[in-house]
Every structure is written in C-alpha cells, then in structure tokens.
Chains A and B, each alone.
Chain A
Amino acid sequence: MAKQHVTTSINGNATEFLCDTHQTLLEVLRDELYMTGTKEGCGTGDCGACTVNVNGRMMCSCLMLGAEAQGKSITTIEGIANGEKLHLLQKKFIEHAALQCGICTPGMIVAAKTLLDNNKNPTEEQVRYWLAGNLCRCTGYNQIIEAVMDAAKELRGA
C-alpha cells in the first residue's frame, strides 16, 4: 500500500514523514523518526507512557494515527527542555526523586506540563486525578505529586 505523506510540526520543527495508514503516531515517532523518548507501555491507551501534547491537549500517541498528525502541532518529551536548559518540571522530577526506572517519566512530564499550562494552581487532588492515566509502578506516586506541586508553586513565583 502506498505510504501517506504527512506534514506536521514536532517540537516547533516543520517535519515531513511517510507512514503506513495503520501506523500510530507513537510508531511513527519511535520507528520512523527515531524519537524514542516517547515510550510504549501498552499500546492501548491505558498507561500514559506515550503521552504527547497535540495542539495544546494531552494525547496518548498510541491511540492516534501518524496520518492524523497532518497540520498539527506536536510536543514530545524531546521538546520540553530548551536546549541545555531543563524545564522546571524536569528539574523538580530529578530533585524530588520522582523517578526511579524513568520509563513513565517522559509521559508524566508531558502530562504534568499540559496541566500546568492550563492550571497554575492545582490542588494535590487535581494533580492526582490529572495524572491518573499515567501509570508508574516504581514510585507509588508520592514524589511525582510532590515534584509537580513544587514546580507549580515555583512557576507561580510563590
């Protein structure tokens, strides 16, 4: 079957790729563009490891076709830091020991950033519910929640 030609923006860069019609955005990112920062934990929308931001909204890239990226603006974990300068969330994740194995971390950080982009002052409960689609098997979530709350606080300049 002929491949589909897709024009999109990934992390602010105009990007073109060819993909099969059945390929998910996750597969395109990882297998065609070699952007392996976005992880696959389940492929069925149940773990959040593949979370990316599409036009400002949080998405499981395993549930979206590569072809659907046409004309969209996508942010992946590779686009969160500004060059060598880490995003505050990334710093806080390291500082609060909010990662152990780190496989959930890219998805967590993209999800948490989407939250903070929309809500500068979330309660702990809001953070817990916002991240409820992102599984972490290592940390028991304590330190992740602390990292996000602390980042939110600092972003508010509190």
Chain B
Amino acid sequence: MSAVVTEKKLKVVGTRPDRPEGVPKVTGTAQYGADWNLPGMLWGKILRSPHAHARIRKIDTSKALKLPGVKAIITGADFPEQKFDYVGAARVALNFWHITRNIMAREKVLFEGHPLAAVAATTPAVAAEALKLIEVDYEVLPHVIDVDEAMKPDAPLLFEDMIPRGYQPEATQPSNISKRVDFKLGDVDAAFATADEVVEASFRTAPVHQGYIEPHACLVRTDADGQAECWSSSQGHFAVRNLTAKIVGMKVGDLRCHAAEIGGAFGGKTVVYVEPVAVLLSKKSGHPVKIMMTREEVFKATGPTSGASMTIKIGVMRDGKIVAAEGIFKYQAGAFPGSPVMNGCMCSFAPYDIANVRTTGYDVVCNRPKTVAYRAPGSPISAFAAESTLDLAARKIGMDPVQFRLKNIAKPGTPTVFGTKLNFNGFAETLQALQKHPGYTAPLGKNQGRGVAAGYWFNGAGESSAVVSANEDGTVVVATGSPDIGGSRASTAQMAAETLGIPYEAVRPIIADTNSVGFTQTTGGSRVTFATGMTVINACNKVIAEMCVRAAKIWKIEPENVVWEDGSARPAGKRAGEFPPLSFREIASKRTATGGPISASATMNAEGQAPGFTAQFCDVEVDPETGHVKILRFVAAQDVGRAIHPSYCEGQINGGVVQGIGWALNEEYIYDKQGHLENPGFLDYRMPVASDLPKIEPILVEVPNPNHPYGVKGVAEANIVPPMAAVANAIHMATGKRLTDLPMSPPKVLAAIDATG
C-alpha cells in the first residue's frame, strides 16, 4: 500500500464536485426500487400476522386462489428448509434456519407483521383482496415485548428449545437469552476498590427504526430455464443475490441482481425481505412480480435496531483518571437472535484508555420484528449509557467533560477490551477540535444546558471489485459492485481522477450488476470509500501501467523508460526528454493500433481500516412548563481520515447527528397490551423535521489513515453514536435532572423536573 499522498499535491481529492447521479435525482429520472416495471408484471402482496405470538395450525389458500386475477400464492412450505447453524464471524453470524422463518413464518408467528403467505395478482387491488380470503387458524400464545421481562425464567418462550450460548458452565435450561458475551481487561473488581469515586446508573433505550424514506421494493423476472433477474433497492446487490439464492434454493449464478438507486437504508437494507418472496411468486406464476412494502409494513416487519436495558459503573480518581469501568448490556434482538450487543460491548469504552474494563452483553429474543443494523450498529445504544455515566463521573469530581475525556483518551498502543491495541491517532485531535469551537465556552441562558459526548466506530474494509476502462476520447468508466448511498460514486470517481491525473468530469462511475463485476460486500460499516476506493485506485494503477506500455510502443522505446506524471506518459531515464509527453486521451485514442482495449480490473479483501472517532456538544433549552427540549446548537467533530468530498462528509455528519437527535427526543416503538405496534407510521413515529432543528455544525478533522493511498478512514457512522448522551448530558445541566430512559420525550422530561430531589 502506498504512502499517504501529501495534501498539496492533490487536485481532485478534497474538492467538492457535483455528484455524478445528481441530475437524474433532481429531475426524477433516477430509478429506485419501486420504479421498475415489466410487461406482464404481477403485483405481489404479503399476508402478515395480526398476533404478536401464535402457533399456526393451518393456512388455507383455496378461496384466495379462486379469485380471478390471482396467479400464485406461496407460504412457508414453498421455501426449502435450512440447516440450523450459526455461520460467519460472531459479530455478524447468520443462521438460515432463522432467516427463512423471518421471511415466511412456518411453525409460529413471532411478531405482529410476521409474513406467512404471499399472493401475486394482476393488480394491487386484486392481490389485497386475495389476502383477505386466506384463512389462517392460529393458536394465540402469550407474548413478551420488554427485554427485562423476556429474560425472566417464567417468560413466554419464542423458541422452546433455545439454550443460551456463551455461559460457563454451559446453560441447560431454554430461555429467550440467545447468547451471552463477555469481554475483560485487567482486574476490574480490585480497581473499583481503589477508586476515589464510583458512579453507577441504569439506562433504557427504545428500539428505533432506520427510517429510510423509500420502503423496500423489488421487481423479479424468472425464465423457464431457472434463470432469474432482480432489481431491488439494497445496500448490497451481491448480498441480495447470495441470500436470495440460498433462501429459495437456486444456484448463485442463476440469479442476476441489479442495484436500483437506493432511497436511504442506514443498515436496514443489508438483509432481504421481499426478494425471495418475489422470486418464488415469479417462478410459480411464470410472470415478473413486483413487491412494494407499505410504510406500515416497513415499521412492523423490518428494522429496527434494538431497545436495551443497561447498567454502567465507573471508578475515577479525583485527578480525573478513570481506573475501572463495567457495563452490562441487554439488547432486544427481536423475534430471532442477532442483536448488535457484541458491538455495544466492544465500542462502549473504546475511546478511552482504561486499564480495567468488563463488559457483558445479552442477546435476547422477544415478540418484535427482528432487529437489523442501524448506523454503527450497537454502538450508539451502549454509548448512551457509557457517555451519560462518564458525565456523571465528571460532575462528581468537578471536571470539565471535554477535559475529563482528554485525560483518559485512547492513543496508539492503548489496549481495548476486545483484545487488540488501538493503532491510530485522531481521538485526541477530534476532542481538541471540539474544545476549540467558540460555542463551547459561550454563555448559556436560563433553562439552558450544554452536554458533551464522544463515540467510537470500527469502520469497515473487506471485499470489493472494480473495473476501470478507458474510452478513446479520454473518458473513463469506473464500474464497482458497491451501491452508492451517501456519495460513493462521487468519491470513487474523485480518487480515480486523482490517480489517473484526468479531470473528475472525465470519469463515469457506475454500479455494475452481479454478472458484470466481481463480488463486492455490502455498502455498510463505512467501508466503501476506504475499501472499494482502494480497489478502484489499484485498477487505475494497472491502467496507468498499461498506458505506459502503450506509450512505449508508440515511441518504440522500452516500457521501463516511461513514467506517468500529471495524467501523461513521459519518457524517462536514459530516454528522458526524447519525446513530448503523451496524454491519457492521446494514448487512449490509439488503443487499436497499440494492442486493443485498455481496461483493468482489481479485486481486494481490503484491510487496514482505521476506526472512526467523534466528539460532539449540544446546547438545549428545556421548557419547564411542557418538558419540551429544544436543540439550540449542535456541534459535531469527527476524524474522517481524509475528506475526499468534504460536503458529502459534512452531509454524513449532519444526517447522523439528526438521526441521533430523533433517537434522543422522539422516536420509539409503542406497543399495546396485545403486542400490537401502535405507531407504525410517520405521523406517530416522529422523525425530526426541518423546523425542529438548528443548523448542525460539523467539524471535519483529518488525521489520515496511513493504510489508504489518500488517507481515508470512513465517515458515515460514528456521528450517530454520541447524540443521545450529549442531549441527556445537556438536559442534566439545564434541569439538574438525569434522564436515563430514551426517548426523552416531553412527558418524561416533565416528570423528571417535577420529581423531588
């Protein structure tokens, strides 16, 4: 890997060009998941459980099948059975026995909205009518929604034979606890005994939805020879292909997946819901099938991230040094195992150099939709608890919260609770940038408070593929397998232009379908600009090497005497100065005479990503009459490594912070006693709107990652980690009351203000 290019040499990286897909997006021609149609297409709709927990005795589709216009009906019985096995790394393990049951219930329905049959019909109205004619005989079972309730020994069990994993000695009794995870560093109990002060508090968070504005949608066509093609909105069309093929029992090579333009995802479109259903409906009916979820379906049956119950204990010395920290994290997994609790355990204290740490996590199933990744999955939840408790500790010893964090900041060489040592700078620089913001010392008014919090995210690397092809007029097509959510077409095009030495406008980045480029992991974990970017750079370097060979041919000299500088081949070494330089365009235009097309592909399993660190402060004003919290100012500093496109980095920070504000103040799933979701719409699940907010103030901190040619670290996720704690800490300063239960909605704030003591 090449060393980081110094800033002054960069011409395209660090500038703010227009996004390549901007015009289609502002004119309405960009095609999202629901915007694809085919002749003869049918509409698919999904029958969903009205119960939170029930055994399915019988599903009778005979009446529905007789309805004119109905072309196919499927149930769980149409899907092949999958082996019960956890596959892949522990942090992201998959169990297809669970996955197939989440897509279509079999023995039981486990949450309101759980799919149990699907219809394909000539119009959406006929499909909806047919759903009403499907008769299901349920045995309604007791259900459990709350995580602490679900962990009790007498709780209704979602899986009667689920023995918790991760216990020593091994557990023997079935439980809703799918797994316990443990991390330890140093001697925590001994260290607590030496601490001058010990603070302890318990916290709860509500599950929140990713809230992407585009509901899940797909179009699938199948051929009689078993081949199929799918257009859908996802963070990874390769993941859609592989998951769908496995779930429906197809060969991977028989399913060609296209990445539709994606209307937001934030982790929520890393899995499949509708694609396997559409494939089976299409196979059974012999027609293309389109499925679009409604917003209600999105709320009831996709996402969210976990709600949690947590306890944190921190031991500090009077000089501000943290000597011990402990966290117990209980995360709702939803109806199937797999909450991001392990991430929560790993990230909660990762920003700090604490010699003695213990974190314990529980992954707990309950009768809610299966949780899915949401921006820095797991980390914002545990950070709410940890960063709130850090604030309590700073108050206890009377230290400024930024100073307190700086005193304990992790540096290269600091061990983490998960075993590795921190390898990168950037944490201290970020906190210092926040501290220098003039707003940090600005005076506050009545009922106002200021809160600080920090956050950590791993950032991602992994497998990517790219093809870079030069056209005869000097333009270049960059094809990758990474769906673009936040601006990665722009950032990869910038890096390609920079590397090749050609203008940004000469680069056309596209997202190639699964049959046109090599495997590429899902867009997630803030990995694309790092990993796919590096792959594109490698392919560009191969193109440059070929360009030098072609120039050598044109000049009839040895290729080793050609160098690439500023977008041109130049004779060098003993040939230096013999010929005028040949530009990229000139060489590209002579491709036929010099050996044919100039194109290079690169594939990587990238490594060397650097974690993202962010530090934020916010000012709030609390209305003592109503409990309403107004965000007056929000400043967010984040180490992005290098901002390839600063506006898009700022956009990521703004977006993540505002999602965090929604999580802090408004957003939650409200269930009635029967386990029915009471707010499955944007009216009652209230996400922040423009008039709720001040202008977010992002600060880009650039401490380059030495493992990336341009220093990229990743930017999309860390920003959502601190806001909940930052807001709670500000409310504490404004009111003298500690809020520990999200969301901090007006009734809860008012109750806290009115509580005595």
Contact = CB atoms under 8 A, between A and B. Distances in A.
Nearest to A131: B690
Question: Most chain-A Cβ atoms within 10 A of its Cβ — which of B30, B32, B683, B696?
Answer: B30
B213 A86 contact: no
Interface in A113-143: 125, 127-129, 131-143
A86 B27 contact: yes
B453 interface: no
A109 B215 CA distance: 20
B651 A100 contact: yes
Interface size class of B (residues with CB under 8 A): 35 or more
Contacts of A97: 16, 19, 487, 647-648, 650-651
Interface in A60-107: 76-78, 80-81, 86, 90, 93-97, 99-106
A39 B213 contact: yes
A9 B470 CA distance: 45
B26 A105 contact: yes
B262 interface: yes
B485 interface: yes
B503 interface: no
A44 interface: yes
Contact of A141 (B650, B652, B658): B658
A89 B214 CA distance: 22
Nearest to B36: A36
A101 B212 contact: yes
B693 A81 contact: no
Interface in B469-523: 485-487
A104 to B, nearest CB: 5
Nearest to B292: A40
Contacts, number: 184
A102 to B, nearest CB: 3
B18 interface: yes
B659 A143 contact: no
B633 to A, nearest CB: 13
Contacts of A86: 23, 26-27
A39 B654 contact: no
A142 B28 contact: no
Question: Most chain-B Cβ atoms within 10 A of its Cβ — which of A38, A104, A105?
Answer: A105
B264 interface: yes
Contact of B215 (A40, A76, A132, A139): A40
A36 to B, nearest CB: 4
A22 interface: yes
B35 interface: yes
Interface residues of A, number: 59
B295 A78 contact: no
Contacts of A27: 124
Contact of A136 (B18, B28, B213, B656): B213
B264 A42 contact: no
Contacts of B485: 100-101
A59 interface: no
A44 B213 contact: no
B22 A94 contact: yes
Nearest to B25: A102
Contacts of B688: 140
Interface in B8-67: 16, 18-19, 21-23, 25-32, 34-35, 37
Nearest to A94: B22
A78 B487 contact: no
A10 interface: no
Question: Most chain-B Cβ atoms within 10 A of its Cβ — which of A27, A41, A77, A140?
Answer: A140
Contacts of B213: 39, 41, 47, 49, 101, 103-104, 135-137
B564 interface: no
A42 B263 contact: no
A31 B43 CA distance: 11
B575 interface: no
A76 B650 CA distance: 30
B461 to A, nearest CB: 22
B662 to A, nearest CB: 9
B266 interface: yes
A20 interface: yes
A100 B18 CA distance: 12
Question: Most chain-A Cβ atoms within 10 A of its Cβ — which of B26, B657, B682, B687?
Answer: B26
A36 B651 contact: no
A114 to B, nearest CB: 15
Interface string A14-33: 00000010100001001100
A11 to B, nearest CB: 11
A77 B23 CA distance: 12
Contacts of A38: 28
A129 B215 CA distance: 25
A134 to B, nearest CB: 8
Given A78-B27, A104-B213, A43 B689 contact: no
B294 A137 contact: no
A141 B212 contact: no
A81 B23 CA distance: 10
Contacts of A49: 213
B691 A128 contact: yes
B261 interface: yes
A31 B264 CA distance: 22
B264 A105 contact: no
Contact of B261 (A44, A102, A141): A102
B27 A44 contact: no
B687 A140 contact: no
B152 interface: no
Given A86-B26, A129-B691, A138 B264 contact: yes
Contact of B214 (A30, A39, A44, A96): A39
Contacts of B486: 100-101, 138
Contacts of A100: 264, 485-487, 648, 651-652, 655
A139 B691 contact: no
Closest 8 CB pairs between A and B? A37-B28, A103-B263, A140-B654, A102-B25, A140-B658, A46-B682, A77-B28, A94-B22
10 contacts: A31-B124, A36-B31, A40-B292, A78-B27, A99-B25, A101-B265, A102-B25, A103-B264, A128-B691, A139-B654
Interface of A: 20, 22, 27, 30-31, 34-44, 46-47, 49, 76-78, 80-81, 86, 90, 93-97, 99-106, 109, 125, 127-129, 131-145
Given A136-B213, A138-B264, 19 more contacts: A36-B32, A39-B34, A39-B263, A40-B215, A94-B26, A100-B648, A100-B651, A101-B263, A102-B25, A102-B30, A103-B32, A103-B214, A106-B26, A132-B690, A135-B213, A137-B264, A137-B266, A141-B690, A142-B696
